[in-house]
Amino acid sequence: MGRVTLKTVAEKVGVSSMTVSNAFSRPDQLSAQLRERILAVAAELGYVGPDPAARTLARGTTGTVGILLTESLRHAFTDEISTAFLAAIADELTPSGLALTLLPATEPGPIVPARDVAIDGALVYSCRADSPALDWLRRRGLPLVFVDQAPVSGIPSVNVDDRGGARAAAQHLVDLGHRRVGLLNVGDEESTTRLNDWHSSRQRRLGWLDALEPAGVTVTVAQSKHCNQDEGYELAKKMLARDRPTALLCFSDAIAAGAMLAADDLGLSIPGDLSIVGFDDNPLATRLRPALTTVDQDVAGKGRAAANALTEAVRRHRSNLAGGTPAKVRHLTLPTRLVVRDSTAAVTPR
């Protein structure tokens, strides 16, 4: 037998080519019995379905959405907050039939995923406003949803209340009597003061200062461009070796975990000599000893909201192309809450 095609299956079953196509692409158009018969014949003949590239050309859609990541793809599979976020997105997209493609923000070679990969829309997750990859997505005119980004007119966004959560964390330390506090943040000094860059870092810093400055707290700041335990260790070790603060406020639980290791290496007890607060309520927070005081964000809820916003943005984009009425763009902010555990205590006199 020569090459098996959709027409081959149609002739074998005794139906039209369109009916066979519907069995693969639009099963709701057929009875269950007919679809099962078509699929059985296709399997017998070794036919796997319409060519995806041809389907894309015919429909004008790919059935795939992307997510542009601020960190490397490796980070997405090793950081527990990122993996929980991606898992929630994948779960929410499953009923829609949309596949998810990870897009690195870096451009390592002649292939630029944000420019070259066929997708119907994308989530932009915690990327700098001047990211070349983000620029490519916008130039392509794709429907986008921003996550952990500064809200932009015309683009749906999903954020958490970074500033409110950070303010609650800092106020907790103020109420415990701490008046010398170190901030371990992510980003760089210049970018975290600009409105659209390192949005979460900027909002958390503003929240910390909302509580610390009115209380007259002496603040020391250290920043890194990467959010991981190793960076937290290095930042904390340098800060604690100087004029040691009595408490640290950390951008993430991963940074806080590194800070706890640094404190231990320097012979400092937690919380006796040093109180530490994280952010995220990563599963890591309860595995640490002492258990970490942190700010909880609903990562799964954020992922679900982002996926829903993107499927709606893709639907709205198709409707607009067909002459539909543009829908109102939503900017969603999810709540945060302080979770007090064992890594913080009242300041002890020296």
Per-residue pLDDT of 184-194, as tens digits, reads: 998 765 544 44
Contact at 8 Å (CB) between 280 and 79?
no
State the pLDDT confidence band at 243, using cuts at 50, 70 and 90. confident
More confident residue, 211 or 41: 211
State the pLDDT confidence band at 72, using cuts at 50, 70 and 90. low
The CATH number of 6-50 is: 1.10.260.40
Provide mean pLDDT across the span 38-50: 84
Q: Using the structure block, give the residue that is written with the tokens 């600009």.
A: 194
Provide mean pLDDT across the span 268-283: 96
**pLDDT value at residue 192:** 47
Q: How far apart are CA 155 and CA 149, in angstroms?
A: 11
| Res 115 pLDDT > 80 | yes
| Res 106 pLDDT > 50 | yes
For residue 108, give the DSSP letter: -
| Res 56 pLDDT > 60 | no
| Res 118 pLDDT > 90 | no
The pLDDT tens digits of the residues spanning 292-311 come to 999 999 999 999 999 999 99
**pLDDT value at residue 53:** 52
| Fold classified for 64-160+300-327 | Rossmann fold (3.40.50)
The class level of CATH for 162-297 reads: alpha beta
Q: Which of 91, 92, 69 is nearest to 79 (CA)?
A: 69
For 277, other C-beta atoms within 10 Å of its C-beta total: 29
**pLDDT value at residue 325:** 54
Q: Which of 109, 107, 105 is nearest to 70 (CA)?
A: 105
What percentage of the chain reaches a pLDDT higher than 70?
88
More confident residue, 48 or 82: 82
Structure tokens at 226: 């990467």
**pLDDT value at residue 299:** 96
For 252, other C-beta atoms within 10 Å of its C-beta total: 28
All CATH 3.40.50.2300 domain ranges of the chain, comma separated, are 64-160+300-327, 162-297
State the pLDDT confidence band at 23, using cuts at 50, 70 and 90. confident
- 21: enclosing H helix or E strand: helix 17-25
Q: What is the pTM of this model?
A: 0.81
